[in-house]
Structures are given as C-alpha cells and as structure tokens.
Chain A
Amino acid sequence: MSESLLSVSGLTMQFGGLRAVDNVDFHQETGTIVSIIGPNGAGKTTLFNCISGFYEPTEGEIHLGERRITGLPPNEIARAGIARTYQNIRLFRNMTVLENVMLGQERLLRTTWLGSIFGTRAARRETDEVVERSHAILAFVDLDASADRQADELPYGDQRRLEIARALASEPRLMMLDEPTAGMNPRETADTERLLQRLRDERNVSLLLIEHDMRFVMGISEHIMVLNYGRTIASGTPQEIRANPEVIEAYLGSSAQD
C-alpha cells in the first residue's frame, strides 16, 4: 500500500493582478515519478517555488507526509526532505564538484561552528564521513573522476548531473527536477532517463518533474499533471493525458515553440 508523500490543495500564488498559480490541487505517492507539463509561462516553476519555499503561497496548503509545510522558509523545507534542481543550472560555481555534493548533505549535518573552530573529533569525523558519502554519490552519477574540478569547468551535461547529485546528497524524500533534460541531445536525454529511474529504484527517491520533452515525460512518468495559465487542465496517467482533448488543444497552440 503506497502512502501519501506530497499533497497540495487549493494552492494559489498571486503577483499583483496575475494569478501565476490558480487553485491547484494534486497528490503524489511515495516512490512515484510525477511530471508537470504545460506551455511556457503556465506557472510550473512558480509552483515549484511555492513548494520549495521561495514564495509564500497566497492561498492553499502544502503537506509533506503528515507535516504541513505551507510557507516554511526554504531551509526548513529542505530539512523536511525536499531537494530540488533549477531550470537554469545553479551550482556553487567557484567551489569544487566534491564541495557541491558535500554542501548538499546540509540537512544531515550536526557540526556546529564551535566544532569547526576547535576542530573537535566529532567535527573531523563528520567531515570525513561527508567526504566519503560525497564520493559515493559522485560515483553513483559517474562524476567521481571530476571530484576536484571546479564546478563551472564541467561540461553542460555533467553540470546537470552534478546538480542532481547535490540534491541526492541530502537523501531527500522528494526530489523536484526543473527541466532536467533542457538543452540535452537525445543521447544525454536517454542517459538522464536511466539515471532518474535508477534514482527511484536504487535510492528510493520520489521524483516530481517539470519537463518539455514529451517522449521523455510519457516514458518515465506514472502520473502527469497539465498546467495552463496557472490552472490544472488535466491530470492522469500518460495514456489518459495523451487522449485528453483539452491537452491537445492547449499544446496545439504552443507546439510551434517545442
């Protein structure tokens, strides 16, 4: 029996006169891959920003498991177990690949500043553990060879994977990926698809995706939600979405840009 992971009810985000997200309801179960699709400007990233705490929603509730996380600050939401990536890659660019993944483990860390100053044994041991775990995670996404390189020196595809590795490092219950295949060629897209499947199967991470690549979405998702002008216009399995006339209409207008 699968349990409830994320539930969003009546979520609305208003900027001045614009309702970027308008009364959205949805529900994700543990261990699933859910995708959000929709034309540009449909409010997908705004929805992500509400869930990860960048915006305080105007109305509505968000729950992670039993816990109400509506309006918590981003660091609290990360600590609750949600990790995310960004549409335009945002790494700590002046730090090494390894350091990026080390930072991803923030939610698991216990070292305080006093431990850092006095170099206590606990602090040193934790640093060692963090480094070791980071190498393991880098090996998982096949980036360990680049561990000591500066993050912005990596090629584009590797930067995307590093961002996923950083999110994975926090051992999240839910990982939100904002267009993980943007700018990738078909081979890289296929690699990413495999990686995401491994994330779920080997690491038990549930995934919430925003994605434009329809083939990719249809192949990987158990459930798809379609947004347009901030509203949910359809929600269901890939087969249901494919057959939904409203979705086809919404996408016909915007198919030119894909």
Chain B
Amino acid sequence: MPDRTRCPIDGKPGPVTAADSSLAATLVRRLALDRMSWVDVVLLLIRIGFISAVIIGSTRTFMEGRFSAAQWGTLISAGVAQGSIYSLIALGYTLVYGILRLINFAHGDVFMFGAFCTVFLAIWTSQQGILERAPAITVLSWILFAALVSMSVAVLVERVAYKPLRNKPRLVMLISAIGASFFLQYTARGFFSTAFRSYPTVPGLDGRLELGQITVPHVQITVFTVALALMAGLYILVEKTRIGRAMRAVSENMETARLMGVNIERVIMFTFGIGGALAGAAGVINGLYKPQGVSFIMGFFPGVKAFTAAVLGGIGSVPGALIGGLLLGIFEALGPNLVLTGLGIPGSNQLKDVIAFLMLVLILIFRPQGIMGEVIEEEKA
C-alpha cells in the first residue's frame, strides 16, 4: 500500500483557483499537510516522544559518565554474542516468510526442541568424559545433533500444520502456527518435565580474552564465530547451489517458479529444514552461552526477538537477518544502561525485554520493510 494519508483535514476542496498555485499552497502540498489525519498525528507524536527519550536518556548517561569505556565494551561484546544467536534463529523466520508469507510462530519452539533434546546428549558426553577428551569435536557433534533434531521437528510441523493449508488465508495459517507452538511446548513439557537443565561447562570456554581494557569471554567469541560460520554456509547454499536458486526463485514468484519446473513442495520442505537446522544449532550455542539452562518455555522470548530481528533487517533478506540480529542484540544490551538509567528509571535491567518488545512494535509501525527489505505491496484492484 502506498504510504498515503486517509482523511484530509480540509474536507471540501473547491475548484481550481489561483490560490492553488501560491507559495503557501505549494508548501502545504509538498509537506502533505493537507492530508494529515489524526492517526498521522498520533504516529508523529510517538516518533517524537521516542526519539527524544532516547536522545535525552543517552545524553544524560554520557554527561554523568556513569560507565567506563571498558564497561561499554563488555556490554557491546555481550550484545554481539546474543545478537548472533538471534540472527541464526531469525534466518528461519526470514526464509519461511520469503516463501510462504507465513510467520512461523512455532519456530521459537523448534529452537527449544533442539536445545532441549541435545542437553541430554551433552550431559551424557560430559559424564562419560568424552567432552573432556575432545571438547571441540564433542561440541560440534552436539550442534550437529541439535540441527538434526530441529530440522526433523521443523519439517514435521510443516507437514502436519502448514501443508494442508496451502493457499488458505494467511490468518488461518497463523492459527495453525500458534497451535503448533503450543503443541511443541507442551509436548516438551510432557516428555522432559518442567525442570531446567544446564549444558555442562566446556573446558576452555570459561576463559577470557584481554583486548586492552576490554575483556571478552571465550564463550562469546565462540558463539559469534560459530554463528558467523553457519551463516556463511547458508549464504553459499542460497547463492551458489541449485536448491538455493530454486528457493530464491520461489520466494520471488511462486507461480513463475512452478511454471519453470521448480518442485515447490520440495523447496518448501527444504526451507523449513534449513531454518530448523540453524535454529537447532542456535539452541546449542545459546545453551553454552546461558548458564541458566533450558526448559520448555525457553523458546518464546528468543523466538519473538529473532522475529523482531528478521523484520528489522528486512524480512525475506538473508544478510538482513544477520544485521537485524546483531543490532537487536546490541540495542538490548545497551538500551537499559544507556537510555533508561539516563531517564532515571530504577531497575532498568528488568526492562531489557520491554526494550526488545518496544523495538518490535516500533519497527512494525514505522518500518515494516526493515533496513534491507523492500515493500511487499498488496494488490489493489
């Protein structure tokens, strides 16, 4: 839909007169002031309020010199590590959205399932001493296992919950997706109970790297590296391989791709599989990064945040997911300290998730096409 205003304040424009070509009239038309509606006024106020809150908050934080450069560095590196996990999950949303125009509401739970199943393997390898002997290979095997589990779950969800609904209204698919999300969460709860379980500590990951004043934990570097490697792999897959070309063709135009002989169903299944695999891998590195462990509800917040990242980067765009995830991770890490403390709001770290949700809502309101994406225009008539 072209960005146009609905209700003009001036309801009764007269016939063309000389006044229409005057300077004032030109100005009014150029700035589209005659087309401002009350919704636009509200949106403008929100925009102004939000931007001024950010500016005032961060200026005051900087003026007071509350945090040292090293502290900022620590926050940013934590944000980058967290953000790269979001990016990995976001790819699943982006790939599926690109092809089916569906928000795969169950994707966060696909992530959860991989992480949850693998935690048992991880604990076992730790108990058997395998982890001690070959940490790198063991962790890689976890990632592989989680990727396999999540891939199977994602494909299963696609087959059961979405495939029967091809060409049905998008909202019906969303309902099915919400159902699938509930199903996965409470299946995990039934299988594995409500307890939290933690990944064992991997030898070598508990150290820190000193970079001048800034110290970066090894685990953050590992998380970032693994995520980057996986994303590079995906990029090559999408850009260079046959199936990747088919995926791009289908997301460009499904009907044309079908006519060109692309097997749509296979591409869809493959897309869900790849997205699931990346989410599973993200589940493992998230487990390494977060000591509090995994549980059946762990998928919700990362899921929503990764979706935010996908929209922020431009849904449908692979590099967009990377950028969106990193940006979201950094904002989320900096936001409470930078903006909220400056505004004098107590307990600002409690509000970390509020910042993420606020970003989600604001992006959806003001820039649904994201940074890299293009407007998906609805057909008019």
Contact = CB atoms under 8 A, between A and B. Distances in A.
A/B touching: CB–CB < 8 A: yes
A73 interface: yes
Contacts of A54: 380-381
A72 interface: yes
Given A71-B35, A73-B7, A48 B15 contact: no
B4 interface: yes
A106 interface: no
Contacts of B12: 67
A229 interface: no
Contacts of B380: 49, 54-55
A87 B8 contact: no
B16 A87 contact: no
In this complex, the interface size class of chain B, counting residues with CB under 8 Å from chain A, is: 10 to 19
B32 to A, nearest CB: 9
Nearest to A75: B6
A68 B13 contact: yes
Nearest to B35: A71
B2 interface: yes
Contacts of B13: 67-70, 72
Contacts of B381: 45, 48-49, 52, 54, 86-87, 90, 178
A5 to B, nearest CB: 14
Interface in A46-90: 48-49, 52, 54-56, 61, 63, 66-73, 75-76, 86-87, 90
A159 to B, nearest CB: 16
A66 B15 contact: yes
B11 A61 contact: no
Interface in B12-49: 12-16, 35
A72 B14 contact: no
B16 A56 contact: no
Nearest to B37: A73
Interface string A166-200: 00000000000010000000000000000000000
Nearest to B12: A67
Interface of A: 45, 48-49, 52, 54-56, 61, 63, 66-73, 75-76, 86-87, 90, 178
18 contacts: A45-B381, A48-B381, A49-B381, A52-B381, A56-B4, A63-B15, A67-B14, A67-B15, A68-B13, A68-B14, A68-B15, A71-B4, A72-B13, A73-B6, A73-B8, A75-B6, A90-B381, A178-B381
